[in-house]
């Protein structure tokens, strides 16, 4: 029987996951489909039950359901547990099991820039996305991570859990020149044009600036960093690698990530993956 997969979220119409996974199914000669399903928060339990009954082989979970879905799954792995969020669901023995590939997806994207393991890394933000990234950086043996967040207490808590250091945003601004890699994980700049989570005037011109947002490809943070001459890494890589890890979990095959990064960059109308 032809297998099928889905992504659930609200909104979901603009998700690039169906394009990405269907392209990879074709490239790997796998007979399967991948459909976007809009699920309103109140319908999440029913949606999970329906996906199970109707035979979905797995699915992705996006906003606003990444946390809320956990009670409707039969279990989650350690990574999803430490993030308290799920972005990928696999089917095992007529049950759904949750994983989170976002943090590892980011780190795989970062690794394409060939960073030193002792690079001084600043993570801006301490929300769900930052949690995934900090745990994944620690698993990948990056030893020198500092977290700065508007709400300092959250930075401190995450730093304690991941053996990192914490700074206030003001301290991070002042010490920005010491960092080799600056990772922006907040939603600042999405709602408001040109807004930044912190002033980057002290950033080194040979530092790498990475954003987790991929649409727009050129976020205000990356634009400002590029204007200072910094290298930049857009969120497209994280999006593609989180999907690639999910694809491998579902099919056992490693998809072509490099070609997909190019395709999505073109689809989004950018020419801006400056690594």
Query: Which residues in this chain contact ligand ATR in the complex, by CB under 6 A?
Result: 125-130, 149-151, 154, 185-188, 197
Instruction: For the CB of residue 197, give the shortest distance to ligand ATR in the complex, in Å.
Output: 5
* Distance of alpha carbon 207 from alpha carbon 188, whole angstroms: 21
Report phi then psi at 157, rounded to 5: -65, -45
Q: Which residue is nearest to ligand ATR (CB)?
A: 127
Query: 116 with 110: CB under 8 angstroms?
Result: no
Which of 100, 149 has the CB closer to ligand ATR?
149
Write down the least CB distance from residue 131 to ligand ATR, Å.
Answer: 8
Our CB check for ligand ATR shows the closer of 18 and 127 to be 127
C-beta of 103: minimal distance to ligand ATR in Å?
11
Rounded to the nearest angstrom, the gap between the alpha carbon of residue 17 and the centroid of all alpha carbons in its chain is 13
Residues 212 and 242 sit within 8 Å (Cβ to Cβ):
no
Catalytic pick among 2, 26, 66, 120: 66
> Would you say 150 or 253 has its CB closer to ligand ATR?
150
Q: How far apart are CA 268 and CA 3, in angstroms?
A: 28
Whole-number minimum distance, CB 198 to ligand ATR, in Å?
8
Q: In this complex, which beta carbon is closest to ligand ATR, that of residue 21 or of residue 131?
A: 131
Contact 232, 212 (CB under 8 A): no
Q: Is 66 a known active-site residue?
A: yes
Buried b vs exposed e over 149-174: b needs ≥16 C-beta within 10 Å?
Answer: beebebbbbbbeebebebbebeebbe
Q: Which residues are catalytic?
A: 66
């Amino acid at each position: 029987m032809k297998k099928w997969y889905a992504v659930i979220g609200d909104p979901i119409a603009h998700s690039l996951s169906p394009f990405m996974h269907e392209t990879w199914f074709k490239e790997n000669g796998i007979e399967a489909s991948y459909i976007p399903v809009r699920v309103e928060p109140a319908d999440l339990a029913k949606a999970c039950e329906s996906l199970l009954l109707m035979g979905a082989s797995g699915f992705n979970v996006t906003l606003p359901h990444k946390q809320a879905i956990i009670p409707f799954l039969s279990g989650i792995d350690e990574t999803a547990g430490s993030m308290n969020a799920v972005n990928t669901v696999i089917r095992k023995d007529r049950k759904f099991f949750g994983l989170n590939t976002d943090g590892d997806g980011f780190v795989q994207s970062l690794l394409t820039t060939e960073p030193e393991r002792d690079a001084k890394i600043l993570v801006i933000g301490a929300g769900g996305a930052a949690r995934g990234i900090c745990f994944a950086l620690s698993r990948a043996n990056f030893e020198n991570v500092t977290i700065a967040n508007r709400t300092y207490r959250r930075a401190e808590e995450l730093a304690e859990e991941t053996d990192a250091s914490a700074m206030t945003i003001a301290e991070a601004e002042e010490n920005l020149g010491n960092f080799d890699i600056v990772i922006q994980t907040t939603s600042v700049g999405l709602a408001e044009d040109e807004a930044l989570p912190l002033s980057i005037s002290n950033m080194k011109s040979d530092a790498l600036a990475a954003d987790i947002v991929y649409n727009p490809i050129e976020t205000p943070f990356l634009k400002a960093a590029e204007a200072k001459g910094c290298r930049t890494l857009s969120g497209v890589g994280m999006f593609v690698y989180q999907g690639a890890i999910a694809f491998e979990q579902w099919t056992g095959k490693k998809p072509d990530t490099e070609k997909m990064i190019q395709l999505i960059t073109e689809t989004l109308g950018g020419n801006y993956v400056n690594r």
